[in-house]
Amino acid sequence: MIMLLVSVALLCCSCPLFAVTFEYPNWTYTFTGYLKHESAYDTRQNNGVDANEYLLYPEPPIYDAQHQDINHRGQHAFFTLESRAGITAEGPSIKSYQPKAVVTADFFGRSFEIDAIADLLNLATMRYAYVDLTNDRWSFLCGYFWHLFCFDQYTPNSVSNNCGDPFVVDSRNPQLRISKLGKRSKFSVALSTQLDYTSDGPIGFDTSYSKNAIMPNLTLRYDHTFGTHTCCFAVDLKRLAPRLQTNTGYKTRESLMSGAINSTLALKWPDKVSCYSSLVYGQNMTNFVIFGGYAVHTIDPVTDVRTYANLYGTAVQTDIEILRWDQRCVPGIFLGYGKNLGARTSIIDDQLADDGSLVERRVYGIGTTIDHAWRIAPRLRLFYKTVCAGIELECTQASYGIRDTHAKVQCTQPVTNIRLLSAVYYIF
Amino acid sequence: MKHTLRIFLVLVYLSMRHTHATILSDKAVDFGGFVRHSSALDSRLTVPDNEGVSALFPLPKRIDPVGRDINARGQYNMLTLQTRLFSRLYAPPIGDARVQGYIEVDFQGRRNIAELIRMRRVYITCDYHNFSFLGGQTDNPFFISPYEPKTVTIDQGAPYNPFSRNPQIRFAYNRGICTVIGTATTQLDKLSPGPIGFSNTYMRNAIVPNLDLQVQIKPNDQLFFATSANYKRLAPRIASAVGDQIFKVHESINSFSAFAMGWCAIPQRQLQLATKIVYSQNMCEYDLLSGYAVRSRDPVTGKQIYTNLANVACWADLQKNVREWIQIGCFTGFTKNLGFGHPVDDNLLVDNAVPSSLVFAREPTVNYVMRIMPRTFWNIKQLSIGAELQLDHATFGSISKDGTICDSHAVNLARLHLVLLYNF
């Protein structure tokens, strides 16, 4: 999706038909966007966001009295939620810095809550709102944009809106970012908080854990370019405060520090082939849509004050695209693998009643009952002037099991979903 | 030719402003907006609003079993929700009447659902000689935009300053230095509280819109005075339940509010001073601390009689342009609970205090709140950087039968607010 947007932006720049530009003395306004209609057929019930337009992984099996899997049931839907429009305003330079403001909206409504509330879909939503000041040595960015830990220029160019999630880091955040630009390198530092992509916790997915931790999310990143190829390396440090008050009414100062690393190698031979690969490893990466999270480690029997353990996760992916044929016919394939690595220390699992119903969650995150998952997704996109048509076959398998005392998943059983996705874009 | 000249004049006017115009058919349109990135560090939990866009006042103490205050906990957050886009449409004149349309949106969503595009102002104005008409949604009549505090925080002085936007129709007549304005408003975004929570059904069921009569006096460009009287009627319920029976009831509450403000500019010293005093009954939807309460209840039909919770708020704001590109200012505010218009019946009291469930206000246990808030703005061309230190002192207690607060305790809040704003 991100690459698609980049492609769209590049196409918009290269073709005067695409963007509507107004120019005034010292100011340039550009209106861009696209309409996307997609049709998705699934062989199974799935866990996703925005009415499953944004697909993550298949739902676990639920067996009825005759041992038939209730979730082994297909779905079909049309979506236009990804359609978007935006404005880019470029004003007069401020000293040596060239300022640029970007505001873009889509129609996802309030998203990233698993099982999003259906009636909040289809509402215009902020996608980007940021200011960028750049000269030949420094770049400053503030506002709502892709997280620095996310290599937004090198994520898979899939037809699906998920762009490889949950095998690729994905997050947009309010942030302050400073970059030092070199000839072939760029070093960036960012402070960010959470808004749309949130961490999980005792009250569900919410921004309060990050806000109450006081410390913003700190990210460092280094990009190096050699020829037409790029490699990037990023480190992220985050602090969460899961609760301010215990279940027995005591004030508590619980907190959890988590770290993660991400790297990518983007190989690109212009007009021939592009190959983007990434590897991410870390703790508690729920807000980046990567398997893992955190869990209760100890509980004080009197005050109910708790300590927490990070759940580790890792994911690797490769996306290959053939850019021949004047880039009018672009075949590609995405390969992804993600694994839940559990905790380094013991955890206290969810509290269940005698009948097996959930009393209290104590393990927070996504895919915490999945040992590993993989995806293979071949695709083909065809471009003609302002219209693009794409088709993709997305096969995702997740191995569900039972968590042990270290949150590692045992006794796994794989379930597979195949999504046939077709989409038509009109780019303006 | 005359028509072309008008469009040309509009474009000349627009080119002098910080927005940009284009011509669509025979209409002139200008558009603009800003990207606003704000970050706030709080020393204490505050009255929550939309993701903490603004901090109205600190939360009261919440004591745990060993006497520690749970709400004495800091927070940090960054937001870009106040980013805004607007467009103004200059329609061809209708006879001697000049007609304009205005649309403005931001991303604050509704209440705690942030990021959604929200209509902020949408209205049509029509100016005809000394008369003008406005229809649509814009600032409430107690908020006169050019003369309000230029704070870094987006709420411009709430809860000391009435802050909301409402659907309305407004007529104004100007004669010399004096302008008389009559306004009728209803509620949409900011709502009154009541038995079913915050809703606009109370005003809709009351049938009568919120009515306001205002007089503005502007002797010259350096002086401005305004005063206003406001009447509002709410119908909290149309039915009551007593046991298994439901009774139709005609409940209503009438509320009266007023304000007076003054503004002056001293160009020689690059100073601007503004001040306002507001007496309010039941103006919770304007982010003020007043509201209403159940005064008595009929034991047979369940019909309730209500009483206003009154409040007085005042503020002063001073701003000085130190250099062409740097401004400093300070906002000070004070607001106090004045109690109920009539005492609550003894049979509704619990432990000699009025239970919070009978009082409909943003925070009925507030006795008084005061604020001092110094700020600075640096303007570098179209880029502005703002910094503000908000220091709040609030007292909370239990509600006595006359609505005054007893057994109060004090809490303090310090908020450091930094903003980067890019106008386009």
The 10s digit of each residue's pLDDT in A72-104 is 999 998 988 889 999 999 999 998 999 999 999
Kindly state the average pLDDT of the residues A284-308.
96
Q: What percent of chain A has pLDDT over 90?
A: 77
* pLDDT over 60 at A371, yes or no: yes
What are the backbone dihedrals phi and psi of residue A230, each rounded to the nearest 5 degrees, phi first? Answer: -140, 145
Computed over its alpha carbons, how large is the radius of gyration of chain B?
23
How does the average pLDDT of chain B come out, rounded? 90
Q: What pTM was computed for the model?
A: 0.89
Query: Is the previous residue joined to A166 through a cis bond, with omega within 30 degrees of 0?
Result: yes
Kindly state the average pLDDT of the residues B303-312.
96
pLDDT at residue A381 in the model: 95
pLDDT at residue A119 in the model: 60
| Interval A18-68: pLDDT, tens | 566 766 778 888 999 999 999 999 999 998 887 788 899 999 999 999 999
- Which of these, A261, A255, A393, A359, lies nearest to A316 by C-alpha position? A261
| Interval A272-282: pLDDT, tens | 999 999 999 99
| Interval B178-234: pLDDT, tens | 999 999 999 988 899 999 999 999 999 999 999 999 999 999 999 999 999 999 999
Kindly state the average pLDDT of the residues A237-252.
96
Placement of tokens 């703005």 in the chain = B377
Kindly state the average pLDDT of the residues B117-125.
92
| Interval B238-285: pLDDT, tens | 999 998 899 999 999 999 999 999 999 999 989 999 999 999 999 999
Placement of tokens 């305003």 in the chain = A89
More confident residue, A14 or B366: B366
Half-sphere exposure of A408 (CA within 13 A, CB side): 7
- The total of other beta-carbon atoms located within 10 Å of residue A80's CB is 12
Task: Name the DSSP letter for residue B57.
Answer: S
Shortest distance, CA A358 to any CA of chain B (angstroms): 27
* pLDDT over 90 at B352, yes or no: no
pLDDT at residue B143 in the model: 94
Decide: A147 and A219 in contact? Cβ < 8 Å. Answer: yes
Shortest distance, CA B82 to any CA of chain A (angstroms): 10
CA separation for the pair A153, A164 (Å, rounded) = 13
Interface test with A, best of B38, B415, B419, B424 (most A CBs within 10 A): B424
Residue A282 tokens, joined: 């870390």
CA separation for the pair A17, A35 (Å, rounded) = 15
Residue B248 tokens, joined: 């139709």
pLDDT at residue A109 in the model: 81
3-class secondary-structure state, position A127: strand
* pLDDT over 80 at A8, yes or no: no
State whether B64 and A216 contact (CB < 8 Å): no
State whether B78 and A22 contact (CB < 8 Å): no
* pLDDT over 80 at B16, yes or no: no
Beta strand A306-322 with B210-220 is: unpaired
- Which of these, B371, B408, B407, B357, lies nearest to B58 by C-alpha position? B371
Interface test with B, best of A144, A208, A217, A300 (most B CBs within 10 A): A144
Interface test with B, best of A131, A148, A246 (most B CBs within 10 A): A131
Q: Which of B45, B80, B383 sits opposite A143 (nearest CB)?
A: B80
3-class secondary-structure state, position B25: coil
How does the average pLDDT of chain A come out, rounded? 90
Q: Which of A175, A214, A251 sits opposite B75 (nearest CB)?
A: A214
State whether B78 and A174 contact (CB < 8 Å): yes
pLDDT at residue B7 in the model: 42
| Count of A-B CB contacts under 8 Å | 138
Decide: A420 and A393 in contact? Cβ < 8 Å. Answer: yes
